Amino acid sequence: MGRLARKKQHKGDKPLKEKYRTKRKTKDLDEIHEDMKPEKSQKLLKQDVDFDKPGAGQFYCLHCAKYFINETSLKTHFKSKSHKRRLKALSTEPYTVEEAERAAGMGSYKPPSKVTVETQSTNMETDDT
């Protein structure tokens, strides 16, 4: 075994690392906070039928930014650990420009406030009432 064979073969191979890093990239928390505003959330939850998306785009989790095949898979997702973890992460107010200025010394520190985030209601539940 020579000197070169002992080296890692992909050390410094940046495109390969980026490919794996961005493979399952989802929306950031601040983008999801923008989607949670009432006018935008209504458009996302009541989308037109699009057969290119899973479940024709009718079963969408607003907090995780994911499409699901049917309503049962969406309801089981609401009970999953990943969804609950995302709700907890969304409970903190998103980082703003004003907070960045305060961190740079242009004001006094104010800790981020908590935002109440609840799981969205499904289409069937809103139709029944």
Indicate whether 34 belongs to any domain: yes
Residue 18 belongs to a domain? no
| Number of independent structural domains in the chain | 1
116 in a domain, yes or no?
A: yes
Q: What is the mean pLDDT of the chain?
A: 81
126, part of any domain? no
In a domain, residue 2? The reply is no
Is 10 part of a structural domain of the chain?
no
Q: Which domain range does residue 55 map to?
A: 27-121
Residues 6+ apart with CB under 8 A from 61: 67, 68, 74, 77, 78, 83, 120
pLDDT, tens only, 44-72: 888 889 898 888 889 999 999 999 999 99
DSSP for 88-115?
A: HHHTBPPP-HHHHHHHTTSS---PPPB-
Is the pLDDT higher at 66 or at 123?
66
Say how far apart CA 40 and CA 17 lie, in whole Å: 34
Q: Which two tokens stand for residue 126?
A: 């809103």
**Could you tell me which of 57, 58, 55, 56 has the C-alpha nearest to residue 69?**
55
